[in-house]
Amino acid sequence: MFTLQNIYIILSVVKSINSHAIMERRDFITKSALWGAATLLSTDIMAMASSQHYKMGYQLFSVKQDMIKDPINTIKALKVMGFEHFEIYGFDDAKVSYYGIDAQSLRHIMDDLNLQMTSGHYVFAPYLLKPMDEMKRFVDQCIKGAQALGSPYITWPLIPKEMRTLENFKILVKRLNIVGAQVHEAGLGFAYHNHGYEFDLYDGVMAYELIANETDPKLVKLQMDMYWVMHSGKRTPKQLVESHKGRYTMWHLKDMHTVSRDYTELGNGSIDYTKIMPKPKDSGLEYVYIEQGSNFAQSPLQSAATSAEYYKKNLMTLL
């Protein structure tokens, strides 16, 4: 039976072994632990995973406190749940590190686990109104981190509430194109992640239309957070894809609580993804991430396990 309790048992064994092992035995320990974890998975889930076209991913911001305390064992726990790739958070541009681990070392750990960081959310917003050379220096650091991790994408995730004006969204569009060109030249992809506020009007202009229509589709891809699209009620995911086919290379999936409309685990809320998901081919889809930043029924890791089970049972065959 695949439960979170099994995960903790596995990780406690791994941690105990690691505390007595020398570094040269790391690969053996990791592979042994993962073999043990795999035996806990039912054969039907393993069969579904082997036929999956889009691997199941997770946005690590969802387990940010666990990542701060114990990043490696948190990633191992998520692997046991069936997650195969991740979108990272927590970048330190001065050290080119994530959660206190330098990017190259983290890449080696991920390789040992047969996992990948396919994208990252980087905190660009503080540079929005700063001189362009300061932003370019920050972007260079992000590129170094992403290249060391082997991540195909760098993603702009947020504009703070106090910065949400029409004038600043116009500046954002220009910056997105510049940053997109810089990232593209480095051989990586660049994307913008939506929330709900982009679908509001600012002096009569919908910010999201400004962003989508006035950025270069070759340089700036779009990461669709379907929860926020549905929360806004202004567009549907299918309408967005129809307007910008091939540009939504990444999706974020999380459910909406039926009363509070806050985040909740997949299958526990009001969003029926079997009906609202666009066709992946029309979207240009490359990566899918489950996410839940707060409002956990029990704990962040338990919520990840709940959402993973729902995804595997109800959504995997649609992708």
pLDDT at 219: 98
Residue 35 has pLDDT above 50, yes or no: no
Alpha carbon 21 to chain centroid, angstroms: 32
Mean pLDDT calculated for residue range 105-111: 98
pLDDT at 30: 38
Q: Cα-atom radius of gyration of the chain, to the nearest Å?
A: 20
Mean pLDDT calculated for residue range 11-23: 41
How many Å apart are CA 233 and CA 240, to the nearest integer? 12
Mean pLDDT calculated for residue range 112-116: 98
pLDDT at 122: 98
260: amino acid identity, one letter: S
Nearest Cα to 11, choosing from 33, 29, 27? 33
Mean pLDDT calculated for residue range 263-283: 97
pLDDT at 7: 53
User: Domain 55-318: what homologous superfamily?
Assistant: Divalent-metal-dependent TIM barrel enzymes (3.20.20.150)
Mean pLDDT calculated for residue range 204-223: 98
Average pLDDT across the chain, whole number: 89
Q: What is the pTM of this model?
A: 0.86
Burial class (CB in 10 A: 0-12, 13-18, 19+), 226: buried
250: amino acid identity, one letter: M
How many Å apart are CA 175 and CA 75, to the nearest integer? 33
Q: Enumerate the β-bridge partners of residue 156.
A: 192
pLDDT category, 36, cuts 50, 70, 90?
Answer: very low
- Tens of pLDDT, residues 72-97: 999 999 999 999 999 999 999 999 99
Burial call 51-70: b when 16+ CB within 10 Å, e when fewer: ebebbbbbbbbbbbebbeee
- Contacts within 8 Å (CB) and 24+ apart, 295-303: 295/257, 295/260, 295/262, 295/263, 295/264, 296/265, 297/264, 297/265, 297/268, 300/62, 300/63, 300/64, 300/65, 300/66, 301/4, 301/7, 301/63, 301/66, 301/74, 301/77, 301/78, 302/4, 303/62, 303/265
Q: For residues 14 and 73, is the Cβ–Cβ distance under 8 A? A: yes
* Range in 40-49, 164-173, 262-271 the model is least confident about: 40-49
* Range in 3-12, 269-278, 310-319 the model is least confident about: 3-12
Alpha carbon 266 to chain centroid, angstroms: 15
Paired tokens of 168: 């600043």
pLDDT at 46: 41
Mean pLDDT calculated for residue range 105-134: 98
- 166-185 and 132-149 helices, crossing angle to 10°: 50
pLDDT category, 6, cuts 50, 70, 90?
Answer: low
DSSP-assigned letters across all residues of 220-251: -EEEEEHHHHHHH-S--HHHHHHHSTT---EE
- Tens of pLDDT, residues 150-190: 999 999 999 999 999 999 999 999 999 999 999 999 999 99
- Tens of pLDDT, residues 277-299: 999 999 999 999 999 999 999 99
DSSP state of 314: I
- Tens of pLDDT, residues 132-161: 999 999 999 999 999 999 999 999 999 999
Helices (H), the chain: 4-20, 26-38, 43-50, 64-69, 71-81, 103-112, 132-149, 166-185, 207-214, 226-232, 237-243, 273-276, 280-283, 300-310
Nearest Cα to 311, choosing from 55, 113, 121, 91? 55
Map out the domains of the chain as residue ranges: 1-40, 55-318
How many Å apart are CA 46 and CA 35, to the nearest integer? 13
pLDDT at 53: 79
